[in-house]
Amino acid sequence: MSVLNLDDFTDLIERPDGGVRRDAEARRERQIVPPGALGRLDELGEWLSAAQNAVPVRPVERPRLILFAGDHGIAALDVSARPAGGARHLVRDVLEGASPAAVLARRLQVPVRIVDMALDCDPDAFPAEVTRHRVRRGSGRIDIEDALTLDEAEAAVRAGMAVADEEADSGTDLVVLGDVSVGGTTAAAVLVAALCGTDASVVTGRGGHPIDDLTWMRKCAAIRDALRRARPVLGDQLQLLATVGGADLAAMTGFLLQCAVRKLPVILDGVVAAACALVAQRVAFRAPDWWLAGHDSGEPGQAKALDRMAMEPLLTQGVKAGEGLGALLALPLVQAAAALAAELPEKPEKPDAEDGKEAGDEAEPDAAGRREESAE
């Protein structure tokens, strides 16, 4: 395996075509509903048109929910309301259609794909299509040890890239990206604090399954200790993911970068996806142009990351359940924007004023001629 150089993504990733976006804006101005009357739907339709390189925009017909799964060793410090190593139960609920995200995906007819990167269970607990990209069993306790070795971090990033290629090649036209993890929001908060240069208390949230004050204080202390280990490696994003990330977070980062390479748009879910997006932005500054923030989960780490990337969430519903649920809620909004941009008719062209004048000039002799004939 060749050595992975994340800096290569800077040259590989292009922005969505600005000329196409201008064409989409011009088309929107010609439609019967005045520009601005549809609010942010105008912006979404134009963004999607540029991402697709198509005017009019094509409908979003083959979206997919991608969930990267893993357990984090930091959960052993009781920083989560869920038990350490319990992500496998969450994965089982999704696969059996019993989780909120699974219910909504079924209603929206969106297929779900789970990618096990570091669940703390035997690989044979799940089907091979779930576990074939797994890097290790669980990730290290980031307050006192690295989450991954550097080789494992590289393998995880490559796995995420491979998943992006598989989705692009299979015809997926938009990805809803989320995670299934225990301890993942703690690792994500460390990444955000490190990259934004802020303190642990600023990014420590209550998680998808809200925690009490005592647990929040333990979580804040764990983030503080992990942050001390993160700061010395801020210049190397792969080493940062190995030190305080995790296999699922490293894979999501690789996935986001490769989606930008393949020009595959992504809707981000909560704080874990936002943290990975922030790492990916540090790698390749053009990459965020291919992503949307689906919703505001209320996690302070997510808000900090989105602010740093100048991304405004599409929805603010206070959804904290994770597993891509909030981003799934935003999907119909994007689909509606595409439908309106493509299907609203254009205003009829007004008759040319000069043509009307010439026509009137030509009519006068005829009228005069008819008057003369009448007199005779």
Active-site residue list? 323
Q: Angle CA(34)–CA(38)–CA(39) in degrees, nearest 5?
A: 115
Amino acid at 333: L
Residue 242 tokens, joined:
């190995």
**Residue 258: which H helix or E strand, with range?**
helix 247-261
Helix (H, G, I), strand (E, B) or coil at 182: strand
The residues, ordered by sequence, that sit 6+ positions from 105 with a Cβ below 8 Å of its Cβ are 65, 111, 112, 324, 328
Give DSSP secondary structure letters for 321-352. --TTHHHHHHHHHHHHHHHHHHHSPBPPPPPP
86 and 134 Cβ atoms separated by less than 8 Å: no
101-118 burial: b if 16+ Cβ within 10 Å, else e: bbebbeeeebebbbbbbb
CA–CA separation, 74 and 182 (whole Å): 9
CA–CA separation, 161 and 337 (whole Å): 28
| Residue 201 to residues 36, 141, 186, Cα–Cα distance (Å) | 39, 19, 12
254 and 157 Cβ atoms separated by less than 8 Å: yes
Helix (H, G, I), strand (E, B) or coil at 91: helix
